[in-house]
Amino acid sequence: MTPPGTPKLFQPIQLGGITIPNRVVVAPMCQYAAVDGVMQPWHIQQIGSQAASGYGLVILEATGVEPIGRISPACPGLWNDEQEAVLKSLVDGVRTYSDAKLGIQLAHAGRKASTDMPWIGPHYITPENGGWETVGPSPISFNGTWPAPKEATVEDIQRIVKAFGDAAKRSDRAGLDLIEIHATHGYLLHEFFSPLSNKRSDAYGGSFENRARIILEVVAAVRANFAKDKAVGIRITGSDWDEGGVTPDDAAKLAVLLKEAGIDFLHVSSGGLTSTQKITVGPNYQVSFAHTVRKAAPGVPVMAVGMIVTGTQAEQILQDGQADMIALARAVLDEPRWVWRAAEELGVSDFQVHPRFARATPKTWPGYKLKSAPLANAAE
């Protein structure tokens, strides 16, 4: 039972058939550390550390449902038995020391696939150099230097929808609690949804309903292949930040369709579709999109993300009714124990820290004060 006066950020929430112990979520973050789609020791230490640090939900990074659906050759996949076995081993290992809920983001990168690692440069990798031909709704290049993707045939679309369903089945067998479908950041499902990248004239293009069709088909395929007592959600775009692209109103209309389809949660971010986007970045810069979606689909929990860096900031978003959960990405890379600091900041005295970390909390470690005071004043 939650003690009276507990900040919303530290209250449990129900997503489908699972209960998340608090509302702080580690968002999916690409690590570019996989080999042939198989997760490596890097993933084990990264996810393991996050799961032991007090976050209510940890979502593993964008995982390709087929080889050409990976963002890069170094991204994980979930289309074969070896990938599934390593993922299951990771999940089983985490279960031995953490009760955190674990999810995975299933994805297809579309025309933005076959790229190099970001510290090398966001360059297209040709098939001759280990890359592959990309696929998209229409043969429109992401920018002037990348090749246009192959226009997906109806058979391609059917194959991709099935691949999402098959990956959901593997996710279920691996023991994951939750699936988040990736439909933003300029990847395939977003490409179909946006009129800037979808110029088709068949059942998957043109009208709003047609452009949303593949998203709803993927949701149905994932839901049909994932245990009913677990959660299926989706990350959608709140804006393309580009003239003629997806708007917050479009996101709201899509949220209504997704609610009707039985989605368990919505995660709202934005951008990534075009190289001409004009994003205004600042604190809470995407929260208004989450709020718009939440109003359009009442009763469906909504995650907000984007330049949320303090516990007080996160709590205010929840108190104002703009979102139901807070997803963090780079804030967690910067401060792996962000959720501890938020608990202290918000006065949550009964926040449970893993026993193996218990000697390093604000209550138990005198050195904690040095984190916020100059060393010259340490003796005071």
Tens-place pLDDT, residues 145-198: 899 999 999 999 999 999 999 999 999 999 999 999 999 999 999 999 999 999
Task: Report pLDDT for 376.
Answer: 46
Banded model confidence at residue 374, pLDDT cuts 50, 70, 90? low
Banded model confidence at residue 373, pLDDT cuts 50, 70, 90? low
Q: Which residues are catalytic?
A: 187
Lowest mean pLDDT among 30-34, 39-43, 341-345, 366-370: 366-370
Lowest mean pLDDT among 109-113, 117-121, 173-177: 117-121
Q: Is the pLDDT of residue 54 over 70?
A: yes
Question: Which H helix or E strand runs over 341?
Answer: helix 338-345
Three-point CA angle 325, 106, 277, nearest 5° = 75
CB atoms within 10 A of CB 128: 6
Banded model confidence at residue 379, pLDDT cuts 50, 70, 90? very low
Q: Which residue has the higher pLDDT, 57 or 3?
A: 57
pLDDT tens, position by position, 301-310: 999 999 999 9
Query: By C-alpha distance, which of 300, 312, 107, 121 is closest to 190?
Result: 107
Report the interhelical angle of 248-260 vs 287-296 (nearest 10°): 40
Q: Which of 121-130, 294-303, 357-366 has the highest mean pLDDT?
A: 294-303
Query: By C-alpha distance, which of 57, 79, 82, 70 is closest to 107?
Result: 70
Q: Is the pLDDT of residue 375 over 60?
A: no
pLDDT tens, position by position, 79-106: 999 999 999 999 999 999 999 999 999 9
Give the rounded distance of the alpha carbon of 37 from its chain centre.
18
Task: Report pLDDT for 370.
Answer: 81
Task: Report pLDDT for 369.
Answer: 76
Contact in structure between 12 and 2 (CB atoms under 8 Å): yes
Task: Report pLDDT for 366.
Answer: 86
Q: What percent of the chain has pLDDT over 90?
A: 90
Domain 8-377 indexed as CATH 3.20.20.70: yes
Say how far apart CA 65 and CA 79 lie, in whole Å: 6
Amino acid present at 312: T
What distance, in Å, lies between the first and last C-alpha atoms of the chain? Answer: 40
Q: Is the pLDDT of residue 33 over 50?
A: yes
Taking residues 327-342, what's their average pLDDT? 95
Banded model confidence at residue 368, pLDDT cuts 50, 70, 90? confident
Query: By C-alpha distance, which of 175, 21, 16 is closest to 102?
Result: 175
Average pLDDT in the chain: 95
Task: Report pLDDT for 2.
Answer: 78
Say how far apart CA 263 and CA 265 lie, in whole Å: 6
Say how far apart CA 19 and CA 101 lie, in whole Å: 8
Banded model confidence at residue 296, pLDDT cuts 50, 70, 90? very high
- Which tokens go with 132? 């592959």
Banded model confidence at residue 249, pLDDT cuts 50, 70, 90? very high
Q: What is the DSSP letter of 379?
A: T
Task: List, in order, residues 6 or more apart from 148 with CB less than 8 Å away.
Answer: 111, 136, 139, 140, 141
Taking residues 360-364, what's their average pLDDT? 83
pTM (2 d.p.): 0.96
Say how far apart CA 239 and CA 190 lie, in whole Å: 11
